[in-house]
Amino acid sequence: MSWSKLLLLSIFCNLGMSYAQVTDSCGWIGKQLPAWEKGELDIHLINTGRGETNFMILPDGTTLMVDAGELILTDPRTWSVRNTSPKPDGSRYAYEWTVYYLNKILPSAHKKIDYALITHFHDDHYGSVGEGAQSSRKGNYLLSGITGVGEFLPIGKIVDRGYPEYKEPYDVAYCLSGKSDTVEYFTFKNYLRFIEWHRQHQGMEAESFKVGSSKQFVLKYAPEDYPEFSIRNLHVNGVIWDGIREDGKINTFPDTTVFKAQENCLSAGIRIDYGKFRFYLGGDIPGYAALGTPKWNDVASAVAPVIGRVDVAVMNHHGGRDALSEKLISTLAPRVWLQHVWSSDQPGLETFYRVRSSWLYEGERDLFSTNLLQPLQDVAGPDLKNSYESCNGHIVLRVQPDGRYTVFVLDSDTPEMKIKGVWNYCASHK
């Protein structure tokens, strides 16, 4: 970008004004993503077509992976025309393409994952070990999703919604034991074997997600240089932060022995603050109570006030029809919406129209999707595609210390991952 454009963007940012610009003044289109530099916050939405995988390089080089989804290649959903084909192709497993991607973007001196967060236990978020899964060369576990990534890149600490007992809000292992012939059961047991092997043999730590904490995911290498950076744990297992005390909690669920919450409702969610910039990611929490389910299934509306306004948000539950309530959308009011897609019902059309609605919040908003599948476009018409800045590719959010941020879209159909588009913004919500 030219110095004049940088100056203009900085002026807008300093005035607290939202500003966006599509640009290629640096000649980035068709080239590799510029390497991360100290002081930048990078957030990658990696498009394998097999689920949701997020990876972050924090300002001092600390790394955080949030989920590592993998529908296995033998799953009927993988090759259905209703679902995304493997990206860039089916020659490797999703975890292998993820490791390939990470090796290309990680700083050369930091080929490891400091933290891994599993938001909830669904295959499109942590993997699946059905037929065709490969065996580890290290331990007694199979490779898929997070267990495959962790096989090749060491993980310092893994955090999920229930370690080590998995009894909140109900006993996960007991519920799954009744499904001992299912892929879900074997995947969860395999995940536990992965954790224990890496704890015993490679010193990996494991913890349960702590609601309200801003100390579970911290900068490890130069925290003193970035006092305005923090990651706040907002919700998990139906419990949300009260917005006041470090350990302040509000339980949004009644007695779950009467009605057990669906797994999506239990997703962990975080907010990242970096100076003027705010970002939200919340797994698959629903924003609507489906017919026949209680109102407390709408976790999104309950947690919205504690999230507050943000600059960028990842659509909960891939933008599905049960996601993103009116209250969540109007409260967060982001300039940019990011979306992981692996199925043709993502986004749900009801959700899409809510996100676009000026009745819920005023101002411009840009939408970016890892995939926008043709069956949905055929049903929705051109209005859907025309509302997205980008409909296909890896999405990279790069945030500067002064509040400027850039969205890069990388080609996910080839291993080269070359830049397809560049959009510049500045933070305005804090």
Q: Is pLDDT larger for residue 39 or for residue 73? A: 39
Alpha helices (H) along 115-251: 123-126, 146-152, 172-177, 183-202
Residue with the bigger pLDDT between 430 and 225: it is 225
Judge whether 234 and 242 are in contact, CB under 8 Å. Answer: no
- Domain count within the chain: 1
pTM of structure: 0.94
Q: How confident is the model at residue 3 (pLDDT cuts 50, 70, 90)?
A: very low
Distance CA 367, CA 318 (A): 12
Among 228-232, 311-315, 377-381, 394-398, name the one with the lowest average pLDDT.
Answer: 377-381
Distances (CA, A) of 263 to 72, 166, 218, 327: 20, 13, 27, 22
316: DSSP letter? G
pLDDT band at 172 (very low <50, low <70, confident <90, very high): confident
344 pLDDT exceeds 60?
Answer: yes
% of the chain at pLDDT higher than 90: 79
Q: Which is nearest to 128 in space by CA: 74, 196, 47?
A: 74
Q: What's 376's domain CATH number?
A: 3.60.15.10
What's the rounded Cα separation, in Å, for the pair 136 and 199? 15
Question: Cα 144 vs. chain centroid, distance in angstroms?
Answer: 18
Q: pLDDT band for 296, please (50, 70, 90 cuts).
A: confident
Q: What mean pLDDT do residues 277-305 have? A: 91
Q: What is the pLDDT of residues 132-163, one digit of tens each?
A: 899 999 999 999 999 999 999 999 999 999 99
Contact in structure between 239 and 306 (CB atoms under 8 Å): no
For residue 8, pLDDT over 50 is answered with no
Given a cut of 80, whether residue 15 has pLDDT beyond it is no
Q: For residue 25, what are its two tokens?
A: 């003044």
**Running DSSP on this structure, what letter comes out for residue 44?**
E
Q: Which domain holds residue 225?
A: 3-426
Q: Is 212 left (phi over 0), alpha (psi -120 to 50) or beta?
A: left
Long-range pairs of 11-19 with CB within 8 A, sequence gap ≥ 24: 12/426, 13/276, 13/402, 13/403, 13/404, 13/426, 13/427, 14/402, 16/276, 16/428, 17/426, 17/428, 18/335, 18/363, 18/364, 18/425, 18/426, 18/428, 19/424, 19/425, 19/426
